[in-house]
Amino acid sequence: DGGITQSPKYLFRKEGQNVTLSCEQNLNHDAMYWYRQDPGQGLRLIYYSQIVNDFQKGDIAEGYSVSREKKESFPLTVTSAQKNPTAFYLCASSIGSSAGEAFFGQGTRLTVV
Amino acid sequence: AQTVTQSQPEMSVQEAETVTLSCTYDTSESDYYLFWYKQPPSRQMILVIRQEAYKQQNATENRFSVNFQKAAKSFSLKISDSQLGDAAMYFCAYRSPNTGNQFYFGTGTSLTVIP
């Protein structure tokens, strides 16, 4: 079955550590996105990628980094520079055309301990 | 950046009744797409319905329909015959080719269904 998979579902990080969230899709989508979701703030865009080896910063990119070496994969690294990383992170993918809807993974809940 | 506004943080509806969730957006573009997503307690985002701006006819998917008013930049979601499983957060989203095909989301409306 085609879909988008995020792992792990729950992640704990000590302060000062970097951590990488995985996002893989087998939908053959060109575009991929990372969102952060906090209570009462909806979905805020961290990074997005339209094609392999290219990505753009979203509204809250500070303290995060991404790579897009393969079409199927778009991992997100939460660095120690991110001041308040505890949140729910959603990865999504879509066809490149604006007519396409976003398909979402099941999310990763990151907690800093 | 485009702005998508959902002015109702919380709504409630009696089971089997009808409820309408509001969404407005700010754009100067003529070509764009609008979406409603549902996020149940599992937090999995699910597409409910989509609307192409060039279509005058309002989209319908079973019990879900939209009222798309292009001139007013309004895109409301109507849920008929509400069911307990409709309880969720609902997000309105906007996408257009002139903004890098990004999705812009509203802050969401939490819908409670009362048995």
A3 reaches B (C-beta below 8 A): no
Q: Are A38 and A87 in contact (CB under 8 A)?
A: yes
Length of chain A (residues)? 113
Range with lowest mean pLDDT among A22-31, A33-42, B22-31, B37-46: A33-42
Instruction: Tell me which chain A residues have a C-beta less than 8 angstroms from the C-beta of B42.
Output: 106
Tell me the mean pLDDT in the region B39-52. Answer: 95
Mean pLDDT for the stretch of residues B59-86: 97
pLDDT at B66 over 90: yes
Using a CB-CB cut-off of 8 Å, the residues of chain A touching B9 are: 40
pLDDT tens for chain A, residues 1 to 113: 679 999 999 999 998 899 999 999 999 999 999 999 998 778 999 999 999 999 999 999 999 999 999 999 999 999 988 889 999 999 999 987 777 899 999 999 999 98
Token duo for residue A101:
């809807």
Q: What is the pLDDT of residue B34?
A: 96
In A17-46, the residues whose Cβ lies within 8 Å of chain B are 31, 33, 35, 40-43, 45
Indicate the pLDDT class of residue B1, thresholds 50, 70 and 90: low
A74 contact B CB<8A: no
Are the CB atoms for B6 and B21 separated by under 8 Å?
yes
Q: Which of these, B51, B29, B47, lies nearest to B38 by C-alpha position? A: B47
- Closest residue of chain B to A31, computed from CA coordinates: B101
Residue A1's pLDDT is: 66
B17 touches chain A (CB under 8 A): no
